[in-house]
Structure 1
Amino acid sequence: MTIALVTGATQGLGLALAEGLAQRLRPTDTVYLTGRDIGKITEAVRSVPGGGAEVRGELLDVADPGAAAKLAAQLEERHGDVDIVFGNAVMRVGPGDDPPAIIDAYTEVSNFGTTRLLKAFAPLLADTGRLIVVASSLGTLRQLAPVLHRRFTEPSTLDELDAQIARWRDEVKDGRAKAGAWPGFVNIPSKIGQVAAVRVLAAERRETDLARGVLIAAACPGMINTPTSALWWDVSTAPTPAQAATALLDLALGPLDPAHHGELVRHGEVVPFS
């Protein structure tokens, strides 16, 4: 029996991932569709076509410091371990959002929420398990001034990386980031932080993970035609969430490529971090 979980799964890519897993898995398998609004969770679960794996809704607000660990403990009690985890929860930002005003909430979801998920669910991964954080090609050091690279390359633990994210957050809030070398688009440092978190965790576990057939990776789905993306770019010809989910589902359900471990992967190819 396969147990899968998707965060941020009530709409867009997250919902497409939950639907895709349900379609590809067996009726004896279970997909946990999670989000922070019970009404939206219930609606999303009802929208998933039948005939595949069982889809179960669960509350999970990754911005809540204890929520990921609590759900992980519940799933461990029910199933013993977990086979597939997609970390897709992210706070959306628009062109009109003021970075100092939104940076607290943004980092709680997109960055600290990611590290909480990694800490909670990596220990539960079954043999041949997959833990994939949905990130972006913006999450590479080429998007960042060289003077800032060490903020994301020197941390060797998730706690150390969280401290660097908190430092950046505080610099955004008090104006130092705007006056310095940081890009104005907060999505860039945040995505770099997500990929760095995957790299840090994977480095700690690489030998054991590969021996067990386990993959921990970040994944770039590419541009997607969603209302949020349309605020920033022309996405009229971009893939739908369902189309964009295909490569990520292949990564989760296909054979392990050791070269993908700890890396950002786009359409089966590694996107170099530096």
Structure 2
Amino acid sequence: MSLELFDLTGRRALITGSSQGIGLALAQGLARAGAKVVLNGRDPEKLDAAAATIDGADTLQFDVTNHAAARQAIDEFEAKSGPIDILVNNAGMQHRTPLEDFPADAFERLLRTNISSVFNVGQAVARHMIARGAGKIINIASVQTALARPGIAPYTATKGAVGNLTKGMATDWAKYGLQCNAIAPGYFDTPLNTALVADEAFSAWLEKRTPAGRWGHVDELVGACVFLASAASSFVNGHILYVDGGITASL
């Protein structure tokens, strides 16, 4: 009976930014839990290659930073293929520059990619979920939702906003039967962090700073995602689940 709470058979999950890294790992994990997954990205070749790793995966190519395009793609998909029961807002980007030199255009790109996308896709999918009286929205926040580090102040601002937007989604939409939560990864070995992983000094610092003593592996995020996507989290709303090896718990 307890394992049935985590069974996603018969559910459809859309994962944005899922052609690689954390997004692809979460899509593969949700598929193993029984969900039918829909991958999203902007590069059709990368998207097709990712879909080939998951039996029965669909793809939905659209720009998450474009509000009208996101709504059109989701409305058309729902009309043709059926409901999206689970949304994972994973699309994101990073730009590392000292704040006093941070380019204005890079700041605007971060806002669009990391925050506007969550609003755009979240709103488009939620409108259908609200009509059905059920749905799961999982936003990918970050350890930077709670902590800052030199050189990424705008990124930190965007992930703080994702955390608070998650709380706002829950506050507005829980009454309609939606559960809206966030996963906040710590430092994971992903394409977004390639430069940091290759930096021996940074990796040594991270291993000392993190109680678990290492980088995270993307598969270690799957359990949290399945939990928040499943019936097991039916009364969890507006929560930010840190999966970070203990870094936010320790000085």
TM class by shorter chain equals 0.7 to 0.9
**Aligned residue identity for 1:22:** A
Match status 1:70 vs 2:72: yes
- Structure 1 residues 21 and 190 mapped into 2: Cα distance closer, same or farther (>3 Å)? same
* 8 Å contact kept, 2:96–2:152: no
Residues in 2 aligned to 1:225 and 1:184: alpha-carbon distance in whole angstroms: 18
Residues in 2 aligned to 1:137 and 1:17: alpha-carbon distance in whole angstroms: 18
**Aligned residue identity for 2:142:** S
Match status 1:265 vs 2:204: no
- 1:240 aligns to what? 217
Post-superposition Cα deviations, 1:90-139, rounded to whole Å, max 9, x if no partner, equal 12223589342411222111111111112111122255521110001322
CA RMSD of aligned residues (A): 2.9
Post-superposition Cα deviations, 1:194-237, rounded to whole Å, max 9, x if no partner, equal 1121222221123332xxxx311111132211243243442683
- 2:162 aligns to what? 194
Post-superposition offset of 1:254: 4.5
Aligned to 2:138, which of 113, 132, 136? 132
Query: Displaced runs of 4+ in structure 1, greater than 4 A?
Result: none
Post-superposition offset of 1:43: 1.1
- 1:59 aligns to what? 61
* 8 Å contact kept, 1:222–1:244: no
Residues in 1 aligned to 2:81 and 2:44: alpha-carbon distance in whole angstroms: 23
Residues in 1 aligned to 2:36 and 2:162: alpha-carbon distance in whole angstroms: 27
Residues in 2 aligned to 1:13 and 1:137: alpha-carbon distance in whole angstroms: 14
Residues in 2 aligned to 1:39 and 1:92: alpha-carbon distance in whole angstroms: 22
Residues in 2 aligned to 1:93 and 1:47: alpha-carbon distance in whole angstroms: 29
Aligned-partner SS, 2:52: helix
* 8 Å contact kept, 2:29–2:222: yes
Residues in 2 aligned to 1:207 and 1:85: alpha-carbon distance in whole angstroms: 18
Match status 1:218 vs 2:182: yes
Aligned-partner SS, 1:31: strand
**Aligned residue identity for 2:161:** G
- 1:43 aligns to what? 49
**Aligned residue identity for 2:233:** L
Aligned-partner SS, 1:220: strand
Unaligned runs of 5+ in 2: 1-9, 197-201, 208-213
Match status 1:252 vs 2:220: no
Match status 1:4 vs 2:13: yes
* 8 Å contact kept, 1:136–1:219: yes
Aligned-partner SS, 1:265: strand
Report % sequence identity: 24
Aligned-partner SS, 2:73: helix
Post-superposition offset of 1:16: 0.4
Aligned-partner SS, 1:82: coil
**Aligned residue identity for 1:106:** L
Post-superposition offset of 1:57: 1.4
Aligned to 1:116, which of 117, 120, 137? 120
Residues in 1 aligned to 2:134 and 2:230: alpha-carbon distance in whole angstroms: 10
Residues in 2 aligned to 1:42 and 1:128: alpha-carbon distance in whole angstroms: 30
- 2:28 aligns to what? 19
Residues in 1 aligned to 2:102 and 2:232: alpha-carbon distance in whole angstroms: 43
* 8 Å contact kept, 2:133–2:176: no
- Give the TM-score normalised by the residue count of structure 2: 0.77
Residues in 2 aligned to 1:112 and 1:191: alpha-carbon distance in whole angstroms: 12
Unaligned runs of 5+ in 1: 144-182
- Give the TM-score normalised by the residue count of structure 1: 0.71
